[in-house]
Amino acid sequence: MSATWDQIVERLRELSDLVAAIKLMHWDQATMMPPAGGAARARAQATLQATAHARFVDPEMGALIDGLSEESLSNEQEANLRLLRREYDKAVRVPQELVRELAEVSGRAYQAWTEARPAADFSVLEPHMVRLLELKKREAEALGYEKEPYDALLDQYEPGMTTAEVESMFQGLLRGLKPLVDEVLDNVGDPPGWLGDRYDPDRQMAFCQWLVSQLNFDVSEGRLDISPHPFTIHIGPGDVRQTTRPDPDNLMMSVYAAVHETGHALYEQGLPREWADLPIGSPPSLGMHESQSRLWENQVARSRPFTDFLLPQLKERFPEEIGMVSPDEFYRGVNHPQRTLIRVTADELTYNLHVSFRFELELALFRGELSVPDLPGAWDDMMSEHLGLRPDSVADGVLQDMHWSTGSFGYFPTYTLGTIYSAVLFAQATAQLPGLKAELRSGVTDSLLDWLRENVHSLGYQHDAKDLIERVGGGPITPEPLLDYLRAKYSELYPSA
């Protein structure tokens, strides 16, 4: 090992430690912190973030990276160097001034969003969004791109994927999905009553604790807690935390949120420990991360074999509420699709319709085809075109998600990319694991997890997500595996008359 390499590793360890402190502050804020601590916490986090950024863009770091390029390297060092170079170049291209202004303006915009949504008043957010959009366009120019500014933003969340590729994937998906959604929703009645009964939140939480362990989440190296918005965070090796939200009127929401987050958490627990502080020790993209959560939530936990395992377990804990529900009713109930206004509670079938028009809208904003003041109206038109519903209030329309107020443009498509990846992965796993269905029926997921560990988790960031999925899937990524899966599942669940 060279002296230059050792110095780089030492610096990366220090950065990891700073980031671990930031993450722990974030987890604490979302789960435990008294709300009055918010302002001081925001300042402490900003200080640590600025320190970490300054340490990373330090010219000495650049000199070390240049120095390493001259040396003969192992494959692993080579892979790290490539990622490090990419990250460093991006970080130094954006002027400090712009980084600071973006942090300030998005902080104010987010604050405005928290006021605008309950007041159902877009004008509270509008001036902040206008400013934020200008700054994000400048950021895209600074970062550089091949074809259009949106490429630069997308690359921050899904490295290696271009706007044109995502656009064509969405088009292919919509072509297949829209007729399927129309056909299925014609045959769906009302959701069953038991879904909306009252379920004691403490018993829900106890059930979720049991379930995440059953799915092999290692509780000796992690925790499950409660937060209003479920999330997973990797503080450091041996410390992966996830949350869910028990809602007294919606048992299955907390259960499926816990399974979703377990998918993220299993990925984090399966990353190569020996590369913990290095770029190749992390997941390659948000889409890749989301592929894991969606696979466990939908393909596994909403499958017929697994719901057959889940129901008796729930009946044991909620005999009064759910004792009379049959396996058929349960399976249909947890897969009940409907047109709704809200993305985060949308079902598996309609979810990607919500995402696709957000992508179209943000793309139009960055292509200069849409202005911020026209955004609420354009949103309502899109909602009506894609889901056949028109929101009565901007609170259920353009203001429902916080992403844009935090400047996270280019983030939304990763939800759908993740869903597309998950279908490719699950189709391969099913083909290679002939006993999988029988295992799922008895609640055993060990061989599936081993398969994911081998094909995805243990690889860390040796490949961009796109390359990894193409390797596993044996060809270019298309939405077809997802469409095949949805067609097979929903035509069996809701056959047309």
Nearer to Zn ion, 156 or 313 (CB): 156
Q: Among the candidate windows 59-67, 156-164, 292-300, 403-411, which touches Zn ion by CB under 5 A?
A: 292-300
Q: At its nearest, how many Å lie between Zn ion and the CB of residue 286?
A: 9
**Tokens at residue 274, please?**
């020996």
Cβ-contact 255, 206 below 8 angstroms: no
Sign of CA dihedral 346, 288, 473, 440: negative
Minimum CB separation of residue 264 from Zn ion in Å reads 6
Nearest approach in angstroms of CB 232 to Zn ion is 8
By C-beta, is 298 or 462 nearer to Zn ion? Answer: 298
Handedness of CA 23, 24, 25, 27 (dihedral sign): positive
Structure token digits, residue 250: 């919606």
329 part of the active site = no
Going by the DSSP 8-state scheme, the letter that residue 490 receives in this structure is H
Q: Which stretch binds Zn ion (CB under 5 A): 173-181, 287-295, 353-361, 451-459?
A: 287-295
* 414 contacts Zn ion (rule: CB under 5 A): no
- For Zn ion, the closer of residues 293 and 298 by Cβ is 293
- CB of residue 230 to Zn ion, shortest distance in Å: 8
Using CA atoms, how far apart are residues 132 and 476, in angstroms rounded to an integer? 35
**Residue 293 lies near Zn ion (rule: CB under 5 A):** yes
**One-character DSSP codes across 139-195:** HHHHH--SS-HHHHHHHHHSTT--HHHHHHHHHHHHHHHHHHHHHHHHT--PPPGGG
d(CA 465, CA 372): 32
Q: Which of 261, 268, 348, 362 is catalytic?
A: 261
Q: Quote the DSSP letter at residue 222.
A: E
- DSSP 8-state symbol, 218: -
User: Would you tell me how many other CB atoms lie within 10 Å of the CB of residue 202?
Assistant: 9
User: Cβ of residue 263: shortest distance to Zn ion, in angstroms?
Assistant: 7
DSSP 390-404: --SSGGGTTTS-SGG
Nearest to 84 by CA among 98, 97, 68, 95: 68
Contact flag: residue 106 with Zn ion (CB under 5 A): no
- Which residue reads 């349960």 in tokens? 330
State the minimum distance, in angstroms, from the CB of residue 418 to Zn ion. 7
Q: How many C-beta atoms surround the C-beta of residue 3 within 10 A?
A: 10
Our CB check for Zn ion shows the closer of 282 and 293 to be: 293
Nearest to 448 by CA among 436, 438, 459: 436
Which residue's CB is nearer to Zn ion, number 77 or number 293?
A: 293
Report which residue's Cβ sits closest to Zn ion.
293
Q: Closer to Zn ion by CB, 68 or 482: give it.
A: 482
**Contact of 290 with 283, CB cutoff 8 Å:** no
| Residue 387 DSSP symbol | H
Count residues binding Zn ion (CB under 5 A): 1
Closest contact distance (angstroms) between CB of 204 and Zn ion is 20
Which residue lies nearer to Zn ion by CB, 136 or 260?
260
Binding-site ranges for Zn ion (CB under 5 A): 293
Active site residues: 261
